[in-house]
Structure 1
């Protein structure tokens, strides 16, 4: 509790660092904030061409929304993923990038990785507004689900912050972490039902018995990935326009609490040695 009070006491510094990240990212660019849409839109076009036209991913229409637009279905999973990967990758290098500040000034170091979370969340909120408008134009009815979408966004932000805190400490002691993380995230996106429906995994799992004679199935292992459940919630709220399964909510809450709790614990234990380690 004492540590949480310290973090709360640094809220003004956290706000200033977040504002610096937001203002500095697109400083002196012509299109400014619109650049935050370029990466997810480019990925959407590539994945739509490869998995929508060549390999025919064919996700089921939204139920009960009736939406059957692959690019929008894709974005409902892609935008949460790009936010998560952005938070984790930028948080990982936040302490090393600010080593001079850490070595010269005394302050709560946790605000550095948390400020990258705030900056990424700002851009993500802008992208999500555009997606919600596009879903509405296509015939979806997102407005009643908007409060739950915000709750889901908050849960994912907490989960991403916890993972980001862990990797920020790892990067201080093992500088290869940043490069290894890029590879991990590339594998992770394909182990998450973002560019293909989870029904493909379910069907493949049903064809096989338990692995090595155990009750463990392919689907069971697959669902250990927390992003599977976050993606499901966003798709069901935004694309399907229906209440997500209660178990999905519970799993996401537990993962968020576990990630932020463990992340803060590890960060707290290593915070005093950061100046020397850097």
Structure 2
């Protein structure tokens, strides 16, 4: 495993890998980066119809913003989730996909994982810029809260990097990881209050306060809650939520780094 100083020294390589990832993401696509906006919009339309119109699962107005919009409520949670899902999925396959490069060239292998996360951050930045502009047009002045959005995004990126490192290393040895992650991430999505309000689950589990606490403190539930506090409600998130997210991020990074270090030695032979 490369040291932090070596990673920094090879930052030009990391930047080139990131640019390659960005160029290849929408290569030969007519809409190009437009897909980064159209995908969440398409999901927004489908889920708005299913949950807001058919099931009438509309959220309460933002407190204290007063904003009442299922579409904005959904996007404030969907965008960070999409960044996390896509980044970890791409990171997991990054070493296997670049097998020829790993076998022939000596370089910090973790750059392959980190490059996918940074590329995902560029996409998320575009999406959050458009969402913020739309929120301002509808009267939600999010500008004072954007610095905290950036801090939150940085913590989510660290969390995704840790998972990406661990899964990328495991995927070299066990190719079933791709299929297992696909199942896990679907379960994770629907157990996170993205398309529905957390109050629906809290009411169903009212007799089980411990389960409610665990549900609300799951990593991506904390992430979604912080983003909605900042962008939808226009209020300061709980400090304990930032403490939880920081802990999740650091534990994931430490474990992912350790696992990558343990398994990296035989990457070339396994690929």
TM-score (norm 2): 0.96
| Segments of 4+ moved more than 4 angstroms | none
Show the counterpart of 2:8: 8
1:228 pairs with 2:246: no
User: Higher mean Cα deviation, 102-111 or 27-36?
Assistant: 27-36
Show the counterpart of 2:203: 203
1:261 pairs with 2:254: yes
Show the counterpart of 1:274: 267
> Secondary structure, in 3 states, of the residue corresponding to 1:181?
helix
User: Higher mean Cα deviation, 220-229 or 98-107?
Assistant: 220-229
CA distance in 2: counterparts of 1:170 and 1:30, whole angstroms: 35
> Secondary structure, in 3 states, of the residue corresponding to 1:273?
helix
Length, aligned pairs only: 271
Seen in structure 2, the aligned counterparts of structure 1 residues 224 and 236 have a Cα distance that, compared at 3 Å, is closer
CA distance in 1: counterparts of 2:83 and 2:235, whole angstroms: 23
CA distance in 2: counterparts of 1:3 and 1:31, whole angstroms: 39
1:224 shift after superposition: 4.4
Show the counterpart of 1:104: 104
Show the counterpart of 1:159: 159
RMSD of the alignment, in Å?
Answer: 1.4
1:101 shift after superposition: 0.6
* Residues 215-274 of structure 1: CA deviation (Å, up to 9, x unaligned): xx2213313420010110000000000000111111011111111111111112222221
Show the counterpart of 1:131: 131
Show the counterpart of 1:242: 235
> Secondary structure, in 3 states, of the residue corresponding to 1:53?
helix
Once the two structures are superposed, the pairs formed by residues 27-38 of structure 1 within 5 Å of their partners are 27-38=27-38
> Secondary structure, in 3 states, of the residue corresponding to 1:28?
coil
1:24 shift after superposition: 1.9
Seen in structure 2, the aligned counterparts of structure 1 residues 180 and 2 have a Cα distance that, compared at 3 Å, is closer
CA distance in 1: counterparts of 2:250 and 2:146, whole angstroms: 23
User: Higher mean Cα deviation, 68-77 or 56-65?
Assistant: 56-65
1:252 pairs with 2:245: yes
Once the two structures are superposed, the pairs formed by residues 108-187 of structure 1 within 5 Å of their partners are 108-187=108-187
1:56 shift after superposition: 1.3
1:209 shift after superposition: 4.3
Note if contact 2:26-2:33 (Cα within 8 Å) is conserved in structure 1: yes
1:50 pairs with 2:50: yes
CA distance in 1: counterparts of 2:62 and 2:125, whole angstroms: 23
CA distance in 2: counterparts of 1:114 and 1:2, whole angstroms: 13
* Residues 174-212 of structure 1: CA deviation (Å, up to 9, x unaligned): 101111211111110001010111111222222x246xx
CA distance in 2: counterparts of 1:7 and 1:57, whole angstroms: 47
